[in-house]
């Protein structure tokens, strides 16, 4: 959905340039230059945009639910690790960028969903995603959010990134996380408490063309991902009036479960060993969160998370 909106925004900008409104395009480019760093300095959220009625229908379509397992004190800052990426990242968008579910469950906390910096280079589209509460996933952006001295900020990072979307097959429980330790270092440097988040149903929204590791398709997808910065999963789901084929996601419930916080003491210069230890503890808590709740959301008892 966001990709379609981005394409529309870029197309509109091209129309301005080619039409008789080129001066508006020039003014916008000037604005873009002056406003370039805003996605890295907390963005520019709008409660009005986040409360649009369309997002209520978006959440009810699947439906999307946010599940609280523990209180998060607004006196601290938090880094929430979101898993899995899926194709659409619907749980992250629906729960942290729309409506009042997060605010009602975790009063005093302001969520910031970090996404790839490339999206903020798209004319007009960048204004929308910032108004929804999305900010850049750059180190400077994460640091800006977690540097809030009074606490009350929550950075949400989709840990597996674009690469993990290539594993987004129904029933898949494979997470790209073993080599991803930058978020651990950021949590240590800022003393941000770590919170594992698992979104049950995220991988059930689309069917993806078979792309096992080592296949020619997977090799091409991984090479393109390294070049462009984002992955290109080949997926399909249902149509508007039929369920056989289309790009509309299946109506599968999504339950985004927010785990208990892992207290983190600030360490401006963490050693490799300290990062490894906290990373191992995070994996342990993530697995525990999954095991405790998988039975509630249709995951067979014998199924477990696979870390890669």
pLDDT tens string 237-253: 998 888 888 889 999 99
Residue-wise pLDDT tens digits, 99-109: 889 999 999 99
Report residue 8's pLDDT band, with 50, 70 and 90 as the boundaries: low
- pLDDT, mean over the chain: 91
Domain of 156, CATH number, reads 3.40.1130
Q: Which domain holds residue 177?
A: 40-307
Please indicate, yes or no, whether residues 60 and 197 belong to a single structural domain of this protein. yes
> CA nearest 211: which of 280, 258, 164, 243?
164
Please indicate, yes or no, whether residues 5 and 71 belong to a single structural domain of this protein. no
Please indicate, yes or no, whether residues 148 and 7 belong to a single structural domain of this protein. no
d(CA 264, CA 232): 36
Please indicate, yes or no, whether residues 10 and 64 belong to a single structural domain of this protein. no
Please indicate, yes or no, whether residues 80 and 141 belong to a single structural domain of this protein. yes
| Structural domain count, the chain | 2
Please indicate, yes or no, whether residues 264 and 288 belong to a single structural domain of this protein. yes
Is beta strand 174-175 parallel, antiparallel or unpaired with respect to 153-158? Answer: unpaired
Per-residue confidence (pLDDT) for residue 244, from 0 to 100 = 81
Report residue 88's pLDDT band, with 50, 70 and 90 as the boundaries: confident
Residue-wise pLDDT tens digits, 90-134: 999 999 999 889 999 999 999 999 999 988 988 888 999 999 999
Q: Are 135 and 145 in contact (CB under 8 A)?
A: yes
Please indicate, yes or no, whether residues 161 and 219 belong to a single structural domain of this protein. yes
Alpha carbon of residue 58 to chain centroid: 16
Q: What is the mean pLDDT of residues 215-243?
A: 85
Q: Are 297 and 255 in contact (CB under 8 A)?
A: yes
How far is residue 120 from each of residues 38, 136, 198, measured CA to CA in Å?
A: 10, 8, 26
Please indicate, yes or no, whether residues 12 and 150 belong to a single structural domain of this protein. no
Inter-helix orientation angle 2-18/22-34, to 10°: 130
Per-residue confidence (pLDDT) for residue 10, from 0 to 100 = 63
- For 294, the token pair is 């998988």
Which pTM does this prediction carry? Answer: 0.92
Report residue 7's pLDDT band, with 50, 70 and 90 as the boundaries: low
- pLDDT greater than 70 at residue 284: yes
Please indicate, yes or no, whether residues 159 and 15 belong to a single structural domain of this protein. no
Please indicate, yes or no, whether residues 124 and 225 belong to a single structural domain of this protein. yes
Please indicate, yes or no, whether residues 31 and 117 belong to a single structural domain of this protein. no
Q: Length of the chain, please? A: 308
Please indicate, yes or no, whether residues 18 and 136 belong to a single structural domain of this protein. no
d(CA 202, CA 93): 11
Q: DSSP letter string over 78-111?
A: EEEEEE--TTT-HHHHHHHSSSSHHHHHSTT-EE
Report residue 12's pLDDT band, with 50, 70 and 90 as the boundaries: low
Alpha carbon of residue 203 to chain centroid: 14
């Amino acid at each position: 959905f966001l990709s379609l909106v981005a394409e529309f925004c870029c197309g509109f900008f091209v129309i301005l340039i080619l039409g008789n409104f080129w001066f508006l395009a020039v003014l916008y480019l000037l604005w873009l230059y002056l406003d370039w760093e805003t996605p890295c300095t907390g963005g520019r959220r709008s409660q009005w945009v986040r409360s649009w009625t369309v997002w209520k229908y978006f959440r009810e379509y699947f439906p999307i639910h946010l599940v609280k397992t523990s209180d998060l004190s607004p006196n601290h800052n938090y880094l929430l690790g979101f898993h899995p990426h899926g194709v659409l990242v619907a749980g992250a968008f629906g729960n942290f960028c729309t409506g009042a579910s997060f605010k009602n469950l975790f009063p005093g906390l302001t969520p910031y969903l970090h996404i790839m910096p490339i999206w903020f280079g798209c004319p007009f589209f960048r204004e929308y995603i910032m108004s929804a509460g999305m900010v850049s996933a750059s180190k400077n952006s994460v640091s800006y959010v977690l540097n809030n001295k009074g606490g009350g900020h929550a950075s949400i990072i989709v840990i597996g990134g674009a690469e993990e979307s290539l594993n987004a097959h129904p029933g898949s429980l494979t997470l790209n996380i073993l080599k991803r330790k930058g978020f651990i270092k950021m949590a240590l440097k800022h003393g941000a408490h770590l919170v594992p988040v698992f979104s049950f149903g995220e991988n059930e929204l689309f069917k993806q063309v078979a792309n096992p590791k080592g296949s020619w398709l997977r090799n091409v997808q991984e090479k393109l991902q390294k070049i462009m910065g984002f992955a290109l999963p080949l997926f399909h789901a249902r149509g508007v009036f039929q369920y056989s084929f289309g790009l509309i996601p299946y109506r599968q419930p999504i339950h985004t479960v927010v785990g208990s916080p892992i207290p983190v003491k600030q360490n401006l210069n963490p050693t490799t060993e300290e990062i490894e230890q906290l990373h191992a503890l995070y994996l342990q808590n993530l697995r525990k969160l999954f095991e405790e709740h998988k039975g509630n959301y249709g995951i067979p008892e014998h199924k477990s998370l696979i870390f890669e």
